[in-house]
Amino acid sequence: MGATTATAVDVARLFARVAFGATPADLDAWTGKPYADMVESLLAGAGQPIADEAQRIVFERQSLVGGEKRGDGRLQKAQGWWLERMRTTAHPLLERMTLLWHDHFATGRQDPFPDTGMLIAQNELLRSHALGSFADMVTAITIDPAMLHWLDGVSSARPLANENYARELFELFTLGKYPQTYTERDIREAARALTGWTVNNALHTVSFQAARHDAGTKTVLGSTFGDQGNTEYETVVALALAQPVAPRFIAYKLVLGLGYDPGAGDLLARPDPLVARVGDTLRRSDWDLGAAVRVLLNSDEFRYADAARGRQIVREPAELAVAACKALNVPADQVAVTNVLDAMGQRLFEPPDVSGWSNGTAWLSPATMLARYHLSVLVFQLFSQKATGVTLPASADIDGLGRLVGLAGVSANTRAALRSYLDSQAKAPEAEKQASMLVLLLTSPDWMVV
Amino acid sequence: MPLSRRQFLAGSGGLAGLQLARPLLGQAGAAFGADPRLADRRRLIVIFQSGGNDGLNTVVPRGDVAGAPRYSVYRKVRPGLGYAPTATLPLDRPADAGHALGLNPKLTTMHRMYREGRVAVVQGVDYPKHSYSHFTSGDVWQSGEPGQAPDSGWIGRHLDRAGISEAELRAVAIGSGIPLIMRGRSRQGSAITSIASTAFVDGDGAAARARHLAFARYGDHPGNEPVRQAFGRLARSTTSLVGTLHGVKQPANAGSPLANQLLLARTMLQLDLGVEVVFVQTGGYDTHTGQIARHEKLLDDLDAAIEVLFDGTYRGVRKAEPMSPSLAARTLVMTISEFGRRIGQNGAGQADAGTDHGAAAPVLLIGPATAPRGAVHLVGGIHGDHPKMGTVALPADNLAMTTDVRRLYQSVLQQWLGDPDPLYGKGLGPLPGLFA
């Protein structure tokens, strides 16, 4: 077991990984306090911002009126809304988890459907289960209007079922491929069981049409069942979740998303020890994600993840944008911010495909490095354009500047790079040096990789 | 006189490993012996049709042949998706006419190029123990190593063997990420979205340059934190790449995103920066529903982009100069996808009908039909065997492999790119007759 009390490094790392970065106030509040209490505080959150919830409902309702056109700015507004919600929320872990599930159940805007309103409604569905029951979440999303459009459920009718959702339900959403415990036949049979669902696009409601449903007998994952009508999808989901690999696969996704890459080895034969423990928690708690995340965040494997073995996370673009805006107290719901997010490779509500975004160093290329650099310049520009109440430490105060952006310390090499800048610019105005130091800290390996 | 960005970077070559790519290139070709002159290097553009391109509606049966009632089966299981024989563009060069195959009606440019001997169709390409997953199968097509967890791509390992330096621009993906195909075990390709965007947003004034130099110094991050080290090294090589592309002209808008990407690919190949391979990805091929309209739009887009790449026109409208004859003589284009689609359609209605994930599919290659003595050229026409499609009474479900994709990659690497190393074991040598 690790030390009971949290160090500043513990606070900075935990907040960077699961709460969009630590503010100086977070560092002060938790350094020297019990680590487990800090985790509980993040799990509990502090309620939802009401005005923000009203805004969410406006977005959701807006599309009921219809008339959304691709490129009319509605999606970009919704992206900005979510970023700003992440920045200002009193429950950052809940938003971080919602982002993780958006990546897991990656659903995107398509013409004409799912439209932005459907995606916002799905976003709330994910949020409502993000630290709740995974079983409830995957059951609900199976007949979620946005998902029914995204993976062709609306087009799947007897006698020629569309396999798109059934395949991804097993491969991406519940079972994974390490090892693959389902067959092509399971996919085809499950697809038959999932036929019959349609969406009322004007109302965002779903309905089951028995005439489109394949009422024959199916065998899925070793279980044979007859016609169960509009509850048959629940049977398919339950059969998937009953597979021994299912809790391990979801645990793997949690560790990968929040902690480190545990490697894509056989999850049944040779699981990473933390993946096995988090998976056991999911199984024993009937899929309680809060319980699973509690075990994960309190574990030594997470807290003392071995950087020398590559067990660090490359922060994803949305996290970076939110963390930078949070540190400098500038709003994140700006077109310029969502544009840079796009250049960094992440458009919220428009994942590259149903497998979601990349992770680790796959985020990084010359194109995205320059966009990451761009983000830091942009956030500084936004900061300098209006009063934010944030006072910048002097350019020579590397630790003070680091602390402002949530770093509990600055590594030797980053410090050397920053010093080389200061040495070369001794005669530059202090304001320019402060700006440059901040831009460089916000593009440093220390900030990007945690 | 102020220094240009490139002069600036060149002049600072000794500083913290910040080096310009160009001076390094002279030594880079040495790994492949003989003549490393960059201008002579053959080039490859790989186009990945993401989602699973329907091979059967790309190279389409036009009739039954002895022992293989392909067209009869096709019409039976694709009532809402099948093309009539007169609708497709016949692959009718003398050696090919007996195959009774045609190209999708949207592939007009490629059909013309086929008749000029510049297009090769390799039939039934796949790998053993096929996966129907986008992600597993896409990884295999990019890794070229079926049956194992993908850790690198077939172009990336080519870069490993060539031993490229950190700043060397030998392989470039057009897009924001470095795809698996470009990742070697010790080296990797680069990625750009455009030339204009391969620049620091804060320009290249003195204050900005000082920041960029410090940014490049993150490249010295120690190896006890390998992920931060990887980030830092990319910061350094990116700074170098910005210098390399400084002043290069962004190609004009060519008519579509894919056309723009291919024109950017052409620009990268033309510059003689040492770029050998460009990877381009185009999506939307996962046509589970509404296939006819969606697929035709995609193939039309692809064909128009090929037209821009070689002819400089987009459906007849001038967008750029034609590709120079010397570049055309050295450039091969290959289209790949993670799988073909099921032989039979899903969905009953015409509007809904699509196809689910399938297996083997044809690969199209476009290259020079002839070459000066001693140089390599593509052998146009149909290569390999068409996969069996069953009978009208008992149609097959999927197209099984007749050509192992590793043999195709072996051909391209060895015979086109001149990579001398044997990549695969016995029985997986280059395809006979694809290049001459």
Q: Is residue B25 pLDDT above 70, yes or no?
A: no
Q: Is residue B16 pLDDT above 60, yes or no?
A: no
pLDDT at position B424 is 78
Q: What is the pLDDT of residues B305-333, one digit of tens each?
A: 999 999 999 999 999 999 999 999 999 99
pLDDT at position A150 is 97
pLDDT at position A52 is 76
User: What's the ipTM?
Assistant: 0.96
Q: Is residue B1 pLDDT above 70, yes or no?
A: no
Q: A201, A344, A364: which is closest to B178 by C-alpha?
A: A364
Question: Are B85 and B345 a contacting pair, CB within 8 Å?
Answer: no
Q: What is the pLDDT of residues B116-149, one digit of tens each?
A: 999 999 999 999 999 999 999 999 999 999 988 8
In B, minimum Cα distance to A346 occurs at B176
Does A161 sit within 8 Å of B289, measured CB to CB?
no
Chain A, window 115-174: residues with a beta carbon less than 8 angstroms from a chain B beta carbon: 152, 155, 157, 159-164, 167, 171-172
Q: Is residue B3 pLDDT above 50, yes or no?
A: no
Does B234 sit within 8 Å of A364, measured CB to CB?
yes
Strands B43-49 vs B331-337: parallel, antiparallel or unpaired: parallel
DSSP H or E segment with residue B282: strand B277-282
Q: What is the pLDDT of residues B399-421, one digit of tens each?
A: 999 999 999 999 999 999 999 87
Nearest to B191 among A187, A367, A446 (CB): A367
Does A377 sit within 8 Å of B202, measured CB to CB?
yes
Provide the shortest C-alpha distance from residue A50 to chain B (in Å). 37
Q: In this complex, is the C-beta atom of A290 within 8 Å of any C-beta atom belonging to chain B?
A: no
Question: Are A27 and A6 a contacting pair, CB within 8 Å?
Answer: no
Q: What mean pLDDT do residues B270-280 have? A: 91
Provide the shortest C-alpha distance from residue A363 to chain B (in Å). 6
In A, minimum Cα distance to B356 occurs at A163
Q: Is residue B15 pLDDT above 60, yes or no?
A: no
Question: Are A423 and A383 a contacting pair, CB within 8 Å?
Answer: no
Q: Is residue B167 pLDDT above 70, yes or no?
A: yes
Q: Is residue B197 pLDDT above 50, yes or no?
A: yes
Q: Is residue B27 pLDDT above 60, yes or no?
A: no
Q: Three-class SS of residue B162? A: helix
Q: B347, B211, B177: which is closest to B279 by C-alpha?
A: B177
Chain A, window 306-325: residues with a beta carbon less than 8 angstroms from a chain B beta carbon: 307-308, 310, 312, 314
List the structure tokens of B166.
């950190």
pLDDT at position B30 is 31
CA distance B233 to A196: 53
Q: B236, A49, B127, B369: which is closest to B228 by C-alpha?
A: B236
**Torsion of Cα atoms, A110 then B281 then B178 then B247, to 10°:** -110
Question: Are B357 and B134 a contacting pair, CB within 8 Å?
Answer: yes
Place of tokens 């840079």: A340
Does B356 sit within 8 Å of A155, measured CB to CB?
no
Q: What mean pLDDT do residues B213-233 have? A: 97
Question: Are A443 and B247 a contacting pair, CB within 8 Å?
Answer: no
List the structure tokens of A199.
């969406």
Q: A356, A413, A407: which is closest to A172 by C-alpha?
A: A356
Q: Is residue B29 pLDDT above 90, yes or no?
A: no
pLDDT at position B37 is 58
Chain A, window 402-421: residues with a beta carbon less than 8 angstroms from a chain B beta carbon: 411-414, 416-418, 420-421
Q: Within 10 Å of residue A70's Cβ, how many Cβ atoms?
A: 11
- DSSP letters for B131-159: ---HHHHHHHHHH--TTS---S-HHHHHH
List the structure tokens of A87.
């920045």
CA distance B301 to B314: 10
Q: Which residues in chain A touch residue B200, judged by CB atoms under 8 angstroms apart?
A: 370, 373-374
Q: Three-class SS of residue B405? A: helix
Does A164 sit within 8 Å of B214, measured CB to CB?
no
For an interface test with A, the pick among B215, B231, B338 (most A C-beta atoms closer than 10 Å) comes out as B231
Does B221 sit within 8 Å of A160, measured CB to CB?
no
Does A345 sit within 8 Å of B221, measured CB to CB?
no
Q: Backbone phi, then psi, for B12, in 5-degree steps? A: -100, 20
Q: How many CB pairs under 8 A join A and B?
A: 189
What ranges in A130-269 are assigned the alpha helix state H?
134-142, 145-150, 164-168, 184-193, 232-241, 245-258
Does B220 sit within 8 Å of A177, measured CB to CB?
no
Provide the shortest C-alpha distance from residue A432 to chain B (in Å). 8
List the structure tokens of B64.
């039954």
For an interface test with A, the pick among B76, B225, B236, B397 (most A C-beta atoms closer than 10 Å) comes out as B225
In this prediction, the residues of chain A whose per-residue pLDDT falls under 70 are: 1-2, 47-51, 63-66
Contacts 24+ apart (CB under 8 A), A219-228: A219/A185, A219/A189, A220/A186, A220/A189, A220/A190, A220/A193, A221/A181, A221/A182, A221/A186, A225/A193, A228/A193
DSSP H or E segment with residue B122: strand B119-126
List the structure tokens of A76.
């970009």
In B, minimum Cα distance to A432 occurs at B207
Q: Which residues in chain A touch residue B129, judged by CB atoms under 8 angstroms apart?
A: none
pLDDT at position A64 is 65
Question: Are A20 and A288 a contacting pair, CB within 8 Å?
Answer: no
CA angle (A431 as vertex; A427, A434 as ends), nearest 5: 95
Does A365 sit within 8 Å of B234, measured CB to CB?
yes
Nearest to B231 among A352, A358, A364 (CB): A364
Chain mean pLDDT for chain B? 89
